[in-house]
Structure formats: C-alpha cells, structure tokens
Amino acid sequence: MVNTNFLVIGSGVAGLTYAVKVAQRFPNKTVVIVTKADEQESNTKYAQGGVAVVLDVKEDSFEKHIQDTLVAGDGLCDEAVVEMVIKEGPKRLKELMLWGANFDLNDSGTLDLGIEGGHSINRVVHHKDITGFELERVLLQQVHKLSNVTVLPYHFALDLITEHHLDIPESKNISCYGAYVLDQNTGDIMTIKADRTLLASGGIGRLYGHTTNPTIATGDGIAMAYRAKAEIKDMEFVQFHPTALYDKKDGRSFLISEAVRGLGAVLRSKNGHRFMPDYDKRAELASRDIVSQSIENELKKTGDPHVFLDCTHLDIDVFKNHFPNIYQECLTNHIDVEKDWIPVVPASHYLCGGIVVDKNGKTSVTNLFACGECSRTGLHGANRLASNSLLEALVYAHNIFEYQAAHPVEPVHAFIPEWDDAGTRTSKEYVQIHHNLTQLQALMRDYVGIVRSDNRLRKAVRHLDLIYNEVEELYKDMKVNTALCELRNMVNVAHLIISQSLERRLNKGGYYNVDNVPAAEKDSVINDWI
C-alpha cells in the first residue's frame, strides 16, 4: 500500500503543471505521478503548434480570441468557460516563461506570434515546431527539483478505487480513494491510496489506428472514469487533423502543423487543383473540421489515398526557421519541400469531449479531478480551435490547484483491499489481443470516422458487442497486462463515441452525420459521394 496526498495519472502538460504547483505550495505533502511509459512520453511532447494567447493588445483582444473559439465550437462552447480560459491565458504563459520555457522571438525581440486555422489574427506563441517538447522539458525540470514528488514511469493505472472496491453498498455519492496501478517491469499491482486524484491521461487517438497521437493515447483515464460512473459527455466530437504525413506506416503519423498552412501552404489534388476555395471562403485557413471533411470528400471522389500540401512557393529559409522538425522529417521521407508537394491525409488528432468537469476541474465523483484532453470543460464545444488545448491544460491545472489549496480534505481512512486476481492465469497468448485491436481500429476508421451515418453507426454497435464480449472473457481469465487493459479501455471509449454519436441529431463542428443533413442540402459538396 502506497499512501499519498495527491495522485496524478499522466505526465503531460496538465498533470505536470498541477504537480509542480501543489508540491511547491505544500512541501510537507506528497505527490505521486503515475505514467505508463517514459516520463516524457505524452501527447504534449508531440504538440507542434503552440499556445494560443492574447498578447498583442493593439491588433488582438480577448474578445477576438473568444469569438474565434466560439465560431470553431459551433454553438456548443460554454461561453463563461471560454472567457475565463482566454483571459487567464497571459498569466499562465508568464508562469511558464518564469520557469524557463523558451519561445521564438521576432526581429524586434518580442514573441513571434503565429497564425493557425480558425484564428482571425496571429496569436500563437511557439517554440519552432516542437512547442510541446519544450513545455515537457521545462515542466519535468521543475518536477525533479521537488523532493516531495515521486514519478513512477512504466506504471499503468488499472482502475480508480471507489466504493465498488471497498464493499460499501452503492450510494449516489461516489468517491475516489486512489487507484490500482500495474508496475509494468515487475508485474506487481500496487494499491495507491490518495486524498485527491487527478486524471491527466490524455486522448484516445490510437483507437483509430491512424493518428497523430503516440501509441499510449488509449483513453485510459476516460475509461476508468466511465467505469467509476463519472459523467462523460461530447464523445462524438473526435477531431481529425487534416494534414498528417502519408507514409503507409502503422502507429503514430507525423503531424504537418496547421501553422504551415498559416504560413501560406495550399492543398492540392494530384492534378494540381487547389480545392479548398471550393468548400470555404477561408480556404486552407478554415477550421480543421471543414478542412478534414473537404479532404475526405476529395479522396472519396478520386479514390486517391492522399492529397498534397504545396509549400514550394514559400520562402524556404523562413520555412526551415519556423519548421525545422517538419523539414527534416520530410527529407527523411525523401520529400524536399522546396520542390516537392507533401502527401497528407486526415488522422485522428484530438477529442473535444471527455470527463465532465466544472471550472475547478471537479468531476461528478468526489475527490476525483480531470484536466487536459481527457476532460470536457466546455471550452472546445463541437470543435477545438487550434492551439487552445495547451492553453486549456495550463489554466485548468492552475484552477484545480487553487481550488484544492482553498478546500483541503481530511486524509482517507477507509480500508482498501489489495488487487484481487484469484482464479486468473498468466498467459503469453497475445494473438487474441492483437486481433481484436486490429478489428477495433478498422471498425472505428470505417464506421465511425470523419463522415458518419446512422446505418454505419448501428452496424458498429453490433460489431463492437462481439469485440467487447471476447475482451471481457480475456480480462476475467488472464492476469492483467498493459496490452489487454489498453484494449479494454479502448472498447469502453468506442462504446461511448458510438452511442453518443447516435444520440446527436444535429451536425455540429467536428461531428458530421449524413442522416442529419436536411433534404434541401443533400446535394452539397460534402454529400455528393454518399
């Protein structure tokens, strides 16, 4: 049994920012950070764009950023949350810089502000094209200065501990008492008892196979919260990034940042036609749901596996300076952006829904908080505005810290049993896990992708039931391992996405169902291939 005051599940910008703040504020209390891979591996690490924040008060304003966010969210944002996050942004950015984060400067020595799809003005603070990597570096540096913080890499959170595990009769008031955690190096299962637990476990990208996320993005926090009976909402709003590098490889797809289109790159079909103006007057700077749907439509019309991003007309020195990582990755794939078009295709990128939280990051389960991509704050609505995600994580990590500092709780005294795996067996037979994972990913891509239909969603329910039953049998029979538990979590998340997709009867933002389109619009360009 491990006892701690604060348990953090996840080591991205959300979890680390929170951990640094509570550890600094309460030097006599302990913080345990659980992360299932290396401490640096998270969605944060791969965030290229930056942090959207209002700094140029002559050209920009809070009102403009708020309006851009509301437009992207397509009427489903919580306006009070949008206002709160955007107005807090400059303070949270300043903290990062005081901790040592480096951001690009322009020739006049001020922060170089980029522009991305959906923004009406330059406001994205960035570090080359590896902003997330820089934030991860700074935050881990801060964490390692704090003696009351313990980081447990290669530890996988299996389940949240609630009354269900304590043999307490079910009540309407469910509380979280910590988590059961698998040490992946030894196979031992730890019981971590905590006064407060924060889920900062990231997204769900691997569920679709083709994703810009790392392979660890399997929706673990959302699935654990769902099993703990926390409220989950807006799971139908899966955001697909329009421009992932097409390379025919399995696993994480390399992201070609929206900022490349912000610099002036254009999308073309293989015959050279620049097609985005056919779909939206903002062309390549339309919000990413529009760009993704447009590319999907072009691919369905032509049968091509990808479209192209044309950067050949851009100043190559400016491109190399802004996007050195992208430039090098393209070269590695035998693409010279000065001469060659970049083959791109949409890929699963970000989940706008998740665990419902209030402005203080509180979930519907007592003493359980959530932050970052696994949470549903109301900021993003139906579609996240580019580079608002790091901003959201910074603001909510701070809010959770402030709330907990002002509302201390008494230590948990309940007796918590150890993990019970009696009757299970150790098995090295992974073929069933791999087979079901492959089937699940294909199901989500083919039936629950960028453009959906009621028919495909209903079929997805039937297919998912078969996978669910087989996975549950495995879970009851086998001693737990990471691959099996990740698959089980992804099945839970798939159920939430499919069921909440069927419930949505009005297309909004990133959610597009052809059966929700009014008859008068059935001949629109997005629908002409359905």
> Which residues are annotated as catalytic?
288
Cα–Cα distance between 341 and 343 in angstroms, integer?
6
Determine the longest span between alpha carbons in the chain, in angstroms: 68
Cα–Cα distance between 178 and 5 in angstroms, integer?
10
CA atoms within 13 A on the CB side of 264: 9
CB-based contacts of 130, cutoff 8 Å, min separation 6: 48, 325
CB atoms within 10 A of CB 30: 19
Q: Which residue bears the tokens 């596996």? A: 305
CB atoms within 10 A of CB 185: 9
Return the SS3 of 318: helix
Cα–Cα distance between 121 and 126 in angstroms, integer?
15
CB atoms within 10 A of CB 282: 15
Long-range (24+ apart) CB contacts under 8 A made by 333-336 are: 333/245, 333/247
Contact 369, 197 (CB under 8 A): yes
Return the SS3 of 202: coil
Tokens of 509: 């933002």
Please list the alpha-helical segments (H only) found in 303-453.
316-322, 324-332, 388-406, 431-447
Strand order in the sheet with 238-245: 238-245, 342-351, 307-310, 266-268
Cα–Cα distance between 263 and 274 in angstroms, integer?
16
Buried b (16+ CB within 10 A) or exposed e, 498-514: bebbbebeebbbbbbbb
Cα–Cα distance between 22 and 291 in angstroms, integer?
40
Tokens of 199: 């889920």
The gap between the terminal CA atoms of the chain, to the nearest Å, is 56
CA angle (440 as vertex; 439, 441 as ends), nearest 5? 95
Tokens of 89: 């942004």
Contact 398, 159 (CB under 8 A): no
